[in-house]
Chain A
């Protein structure tokens, strides 16, 4: 069997709220799958179900050849999970926490350990309670990425991290992928996940968005450049304003090719323009708008 993770028809509800609605997912061994979607859409619940932290109401899950409902412990012995909320014992020092967290796993990747410790440069002798949010996240990442296991399930690993650390994390994840590790990560940084992942799954309302729907939403967004006009300048003809951000950035829809329209603008009228880079929140809005009412 070549699939590290196989999910079929997964349903989960918390009370009246249906969180997962028939999720199907297959992750091949050695694959890095990116999971993106708005908050509260079921990403974390899906990740928790994979390692047996929550019990699904219906559907089938196989992780590393085992069912988490029956063999959760066996799965966790070959899998490292980074929770979405950074839970670190405040009263311990960084070194004590790391010793505690890594003690559960018999095999560690020493090269990765050295690399991450050097790159993250944490004051491990200090109590965790004195750490910033970013430092806590780095510590949680060390505890998750140093063990040498087959599958890594990472819920927003880049949360609270600055750009340089995110870049380092990206390099480490790519190296792990080359080692044949299977990685499932959820994130809000669409562009970074896209650059990193072999495949991207977009989650909305407890189910994956079909590739065709996602492509259609992206095509719509590609026709909508974001631009910032100089003070006092009016929007030239050939485009209409769809949205104005508080910082003055306009989202416009052009009549024809947006790139040609931007090129046709008189010099000095535009301060900045962005095209072809769909922001995650724009993608959510477009997908929500394109869905029939009552479905969300």
Chain B
């Protein structure tokens, strides 16, 4: 019941979000053969103040064009599109989950139905989580088709791994926003809190000396490029003992935020 209603409420926005991701993906991939030549002549990136921008430039101007194309995809599909749009979508969907119910005075109605609060949270969360993550997989799958249009092949397994990491990153933001949506009474306050956190993280990311402490360090070019190049196998992403395991840590953080949301929803009063 609640899941169906959540799906009806989010499907329109999810479709718009999918279209935006696709619009960010298809044209930039199709630009590739021309932009590769232009970038090799360009000196713009060399003069950029950020080290990571220089490294991106070195990647996408690699003398071996197939390697350069993978760097281009890592930058455009993940560092630019998914990070930006998927995180924004996760925040947008998440703020609405409970704070909007409070603003519309439907929170009390919902809590007074004969359904457990844990079920309410779950039935609101999972359709939203699917709306946030499925477009990431769909758009990145479509990148295989667009790449073939310009005679390039994208490695499917590596693309799936990178998409999974991007989906988990967005999911973590969704869970954190859901928790705040349970705690705060006004939707705008939730958006402001998450927005302030994201801006702080971007600020940290752009400061060379403390960049490794930024959450966005876990979803930047240097994270996705090795995955797409096949240098980060799945076990390294998921196994915290043998590998770095940061995808698992992000999943654990998602679980933690979900648990916090559940704890606070159980205590919530209308």
A in complex with B = yes
| Residue positions of A touching B, CB distance < 8 A | 48, 51, 53-55, 73, 76-77, 81, 83, 85-92, 100-101, 103-105, 140
Are A88 and B106 closer than 8 Å at their CB atoms? yes
Are B5 and A100 closer than 8 Å at their CB atoms? yes
| Residue positions of B touching A, CB distance < 8 A | 1, 5, 9, 104-116, 267, 269-270
Residues of A within 8 A of B9 (CB): 91
Residues of B within 8 A of A88 (CB): 106, 109
A sample of 8 cross-chain residue pairs with beta-carbon separation below 8 angstroms, ordered by A number, consists of A48-B270, A53-B270, A54-B270, A76-B115, A87-B104, A91-B9, A100-B1, A104-B113
Partner of B106, one of A73, A87, A104, A105: A87
Given contacts A48-B270, A54-B270, A90-B104, contact A83 B109 (CB under 8 A): yes
Are A104 and B1 closer than 8 Å at their CB atoms? yes
Interface of B is mostly: loop
Residues of A within 8 A of B113 (CB): 76, 101, 104
Partner of B112, one of A55, A83, A86, A91: A83
Residues of B within 8 A of A105 (CB): 114
Are B105 and A53 closer than 8 Å at their CB atoms? no
* Docked complex Cα distance between A140 and B106 (Å): 11
Which residue in chain A gives the minimum CB-CB distance to B2?
Answer: A100
Are B111 and A53 closer than 8 Å at their CB atoms? yes
Given contacts A87-B104, A90-B104, A104-B1, contact A51 B112 (CB under 8 A): yes
* Docked complex Cα distance between A83 and B107 (Å): 10
* Docked complex Cα distance between A91 and B108 (Å): 17
Residues of A within 8 A of B270 (CB): 48, 53-54, 83
* Docked complex Cα distance between A287 and B5 (Å): 47
Residues of B within 8 A of A104 (CB): 1, 113-115
* Docked complex Cα distance between A87 and B103 (Å): 10
Whole-angstrom distance between the Cβ of A102 and the nearest chain B Cβ:
10
* Docked complex Cα distance between A85 and B104 (Å): 10
Whole-angstrom distance between the Cβ of B185 and the nearest chain A Cβ:
14
With A53-B111, A73-B115 given, name 12 new contacts (CB 8 A): A53-B108, A53-B269, A76-B113, A76-B114, A83-B105, A83-B270, A87-B105, A87-B109, A88-B109, A104-B113, A104-B115, A105-B114
* Docked complex Cα distance between A133 and B106 (Å): 15
Whole-angstrom distance between the Cβ of A277 and the nearest chain B Cβ:
33
* Docked complex Cα distance between A103 and B4 (Å): 12
Residues of B within 8 A of A76 (CB): 112-115
Residues of B within 8 A of A54 (CB): 269-270
Are A89 and B106 closer than 8 Å at their CB atoms? yes
Residues of B within 8 A of A89 (CB): 5, 104, 106
Are B269 and A103 closer than 8 Å at their CB atoms? no
Whole-angstrom distance between the Cβ of B113 and the nearest chain A Cβ:
4
Are A73 and B116 closer than 8 Å at their CB atoms? yes
Residues of A within 8 A of B114 (CB): 73, 76-77, 104-105
Partner of B105, one of A55, A81, A86, A100: A86
Residues of A within 8 A of B110 (CB): 87
